[in-house]
Amino acid sequence: MATGKHTIVLVQYNNSIQSRTYMDFPGVNAAMDAIVKMYEHKLKELNPQVPRITYEITDLYKYLDELKDVCALVFEPSTNQYDPKDRNWIKTKVFAHLKGQAA
């Protein structure tokens, strides 16, 4: 996984333009970790009384699908440009990131 490439994650949580935001990270791994934490934070908001929340990767995918929009821009030093990455790319990278943590 391209860990050292500056990565910007763009998110629109719902239909409101005001829900648009971005987060930038030193690499893809840090960005994927933040996306997982974003989901876990939402779970804690929805279930404040539950001390330990567990979920499946399909639950995380559903959360990503329910966002109005989510994408990433990954810096490619060889071209000196940011490559746009879509929701499916994020899902693939999040899965690989979590799999790597579990190993």
* pLDDT tens profile 41-80: 999 999 989 888 889 999 999 999 999 999 999 999 999 9
Look at the alpha carbons of 94, 84, 66, 35 in this order and tell me if their dihedral is positive or negative: positive
Question: Which contacts of 29-35 are long-range, i.e. CB under 8 A and separated by 24 or more positions?
Answer: 29/1, 29/3, 29/97, 31/7, 31/72, 32/90, 32/93, 32/94, 32/96, 32/97, 33/97, 34/9, 35/9, 35/64, 35/70, 35/90, 35/94
Contact 9, 72 (CB under 8 A): yes
Write down the pLDDT at residue 71. Answer: 98
Confidence of residue 99 (pLDDT cuts 50, 70, 90): confident
Q: Is the pLDDT of residue 2 over 60?
A: no
Q: How confident is the model at residue 1 (pLDDT cuts 50, 70, 90)?
A: very low
